[in-house]
Amino acid sequence: DAGITQSPRHKVTETGTPVTLRCHQTENHRYMYWYRQDPGHGLRLIHYSYGVKDTDKGEVSDGYSVSRSKTEDFLLTLESATSSQTSVYFCAIRKDRGSTDTQYFGPGTRLTVL
Amino acid sequence: DQQVKQNSPSLSVQEGRISILNCDYTNSMFDYFLWYKKYPAEGPTFLISISSIKDKNEDGRFTVFLNKSAKHLSLHIVPSQPGDSAVYFCAASGPGNTGKLIFGQGTTLQVKP
């Protein structure tokens, strides 16, 4: 258990509205990641963070922004949601101790954009 | 351009037999490989990993094999149990400290009692 929570767990919203998903960790690890999971695509990296206020883009970052003002929280924002952003979103952390790239995932947020 | 591919969307095996899940990659710079298991409505759970300096890693019923020349890895589950029924993702990471992972599409394993 890596102490990761995501909120909300489920959300239904309408096209054009802003949406913010929250990821919270209890162990103060530096690296945090946002992925989306879609059928036929596996998990794809949206954005990641390597410290407070330090973020970078992943492979599917268009239409998404992130912020990290505290070590424990990593926010993912859809500025103007579109139906193509209907997906399951997972947050992950990489533990600072140890030298591997193993990531540990939260329970996910299912987002539906109508 | 799919750098990590799992070409079998599904696999069905009998309880007690071996399950073999396969994964191919194209980027020779990948140096660390992982397998995750995912149940419905849950996040992926780390299962086992292997560094590119090894060709085999074992953890209980799970063994991962890496063939660098073929850019291929496989996950063996012996013996398979009904509780192993899940979606399995392979993932790869490259040099550098970002820890970014590239995932395959996933393989759904069904273990029949």
In eight-state DSSP terms, residue A95 is -
As a whole number of angstroms, the distance between CA B106 and CA B38 comes to: 9
Pick the residue from chain A with its C-alpha nearest to B37.
A105
B-chain residues within 8 Å CB-CB of A48? 98-100
Confidence of residue A1 (pLDDT cuts 50, 70, 90): low
As a whole number of angstroms, the distance between CA B23 and CA A26 comes to: 33
Output Rg (C-alpha) for chain A, integer angstroms: 13
Q: Is the peptide bond before A8 cis (omega within 30 degrees of 0)?
A: yes
Residuewise pLDDT in 10s, chain B (113 residues) = 789 999 999 999 999 999 999 999 999 999 999 999 999 999 999 999 999 999 999 999 999 999 999 999 999 999 999 999 999 999 999 877 788 999 999 999 999 99
Q: Does B70 touch chain A if contact means CB atoms closer than 8 Å?
A: no
The per-residue pLDDT for B3 is 92
Mean of all residue pLDDT scores within chain A? 93
Q: Does B101 touch chain A if contact means CB atoms closer than 8 Å?
A: yes
As a whole number of angstroms, the distance between CA A24 and CA A21 comes to: 10
